[in-house]
Amino acid sequence: MLKNKKIILITIIAVILLTLTGCSNKEEKIPQADDSAFLMDTLVQMRAHGENAEKAVEASMERIRELENLMSKTIETSDIYKLNNSPEMKIDINQESMKVLKKAVNYAEQTDGNFDPTIGALVELWGIGTKNPEVPSESEIKRALSNTGYQYLKLYDSSAEITRPGVKVDLGGIAKGFAAEEVKKVVENYGIEHAFVNLGGNVLVIGDKVDGTPWKIGIQDPRKDRGNVMAIVDAVDKTIVTSGNYERYFEKDGKIYHHIIDPKTGYPAENNLLSVSIISENSFDADALSTAVYVMGLKKGMKFIENMEDVNVMIITEDLDVYISSGLKDIVEIKDSDFNLIEGENFAD
């Protein structure tokens, strides 16, 4: 049975919570603009409050389209498509694409390859999220693994090169985070102090709500369908990005295969985790970190985040234990008694 969830509103259902919240008199007086579109292979939703709200939302959506055209692996005019289809050649790369490539390689190095932007051959092989996913043979996985490794991606001042034919770059685990940060710049340029954008579960809130209270971001219950919240995070000028094994997957012979591939084994990561949520001030970093920590697993992932400044994590295990890093104690509220909250900073020692 295939369960394809390309429109990933299951991970974080901030929009539902925000929509159901009633407007105060102050909110009713301030102009508000909303929009949604299918961009970067997901549903993007945005809201802004302020005199220039409509212009800010329109410009933000256009900015995301621009970045999609630069970094999509399927648009033939994009930097990434050209790079993937011209191995052993230096390809001129737009400055913004280069920022994402450099950040991706940096995190590959920091995480010992648990996050790897050259995982494209494995992603294509499994086809999870497409109409025809399949469990590859061991020989196919071995071949795709030989074509995976960030050491085969060379970055220069304004160009990049794939040094091994068959290696393919896939920025699906980081490009949306960069797009969210670009939206933040657009919104601030229009003088907007209250806004949110949801790029398929990558949620960024700007400022607080118009009534002065924090945005309420719901964390999806990974056992249930969309709309079921297991925790709420109070957020002001924060981003929340979640990677979960329930977002995109398929079932074969009674076994579930999810889309978070371990770059070292070639198989979906198996580490007793249901989801990892990164809470920080920067979506660019959080996007890559949510994937990396999921692949790392509980102990290594929690320790990795505790050693970072201004970055926090919530990890949900298959046993429904919820581990939170030290910075989340006062802003996370567990809403379902099935889950057991554990403060994870001591666990990481």
State the number of CA atoms in the 13 A half-sphere of 253 facing the CB: 2
CATH code for position 130: 1.10.3980.10
Angle at 332 between CA 230 and CA 257, to 5 degrees: 45
State the number of CA atoms in the 13 A half-sphere of 53 facing the CB: 21
For residue 325, being part of any structural domain is answered with yes
- Residues 101 and 158 both lie in one domain: yes
For residue 348, being part of any structural domain is answered with no
Higher pLDDT, 201 or 170: 170
> CA 289 to CA 296: how far, in whole Å?
10
- Residues 211 and 123 both lie in one domain: no
Parallel, antiparallel or unpaired: strands 321-324 and 340-343: parallel
What is the Cα 129 distance to its own chain's centre?
A: 15
- Residues 87 and 131 both lie in one domain: yes
pLDDT higher than threshold 60 for residue 330: yes
Q: For residue 42, which of 15, 20, 24, 19 has the smallest C-alpha distance?
A: 15
- Residues 132 and 269 both lie in one domain: no
- Residues 124 and 219 both lie in one domain: no
CATH code for position 12: 3.10.520.10
- Residues 148 and 240 both lie in one domain: no
For residue 103, being part of any structural domain is answered with yes
Q: Which of 116, 146, 162 is the last residue of a domain?
A: 162
Residue 160: band (very low, low, confident or very high) from pLDDT cuts 50, 70, 90 = very high
Q: Which residue has the tokens 């960069």?
A: 178
Q: Which of 162, 183, 211 is the last residue of a domain?
A: 162
- Residues 338 and 201 both lie in one domain: yes
In sequence order, the 6+-apart residues with CB closer than 8 A to the CB of 285 are 103, 107, 177, 278, 311
Q: Which residue has the tokens 């693994």?
A: 145
Q: What is the mean pLDDT of residues 53-74?
A: 98
- Residues 200 and 149 both lie in one domain: no
Q: Total structural domains in the chain?
A: 2
* Residue 287 assigned to a binding site: yes
SS3 category, 343: strand
**pLDDT digits over 17-55, tens only?**
444 344 555 555 889 999 999 999 999 999 999 999 999
- Residues 206 and 325 both lie in one domain: yes
Structure confidence at residue 347 (pLDDT): 61
Q: What is the mean pLDDT of residues 320-349?
A: 86
- Residues 201 and 246 both lie in one domain: yes
For residue 349, being part of any structural domain is answered with no
pLDDT higher than threshold 50 for residue 227: yes
Q: What is the mean pLDDT of residues 198-225?
A: 93
For residue 204, being part of any structural domain is answered with yes
Q: Which of 162, 180, 210 is the last residue of a domain?
A: 162
In the chain, % of residues over pLDDT 90: 83
- Residues 221 and 274 both lie in one domain: yes
For residue 324, being part of any structural domain is answered with yes
Taking each helix axis from N to C terminus, what angle separates 53-71 and 175-189, rounded to the nearest 10 degrees?
A: 150
Domain that holds residue 286: 2-25+38-45+195-343
Say if residues 45 and 12 touch (Cβ distance below 8 Å): no
SS3 category, 102: helix
> CA 117 to CA 123: how far, in whole Å?
11
- Residues 75 and 155 both lie in one domain: yes
Structure confidence at residue 13 (pLDDT): 44
In the chain, % of residues over pLDDT 70: 90
pLDDT higher than threshold 90 for residue 259: yes
Helix H or strand E encompassing 276: strand 273-280
Mean pLDDT for the chain? 91
pLDDT higher than threshold 60 for residue 265: yes
Say if residues 209 and 237 touch (Cβ distance below 8 Å): no
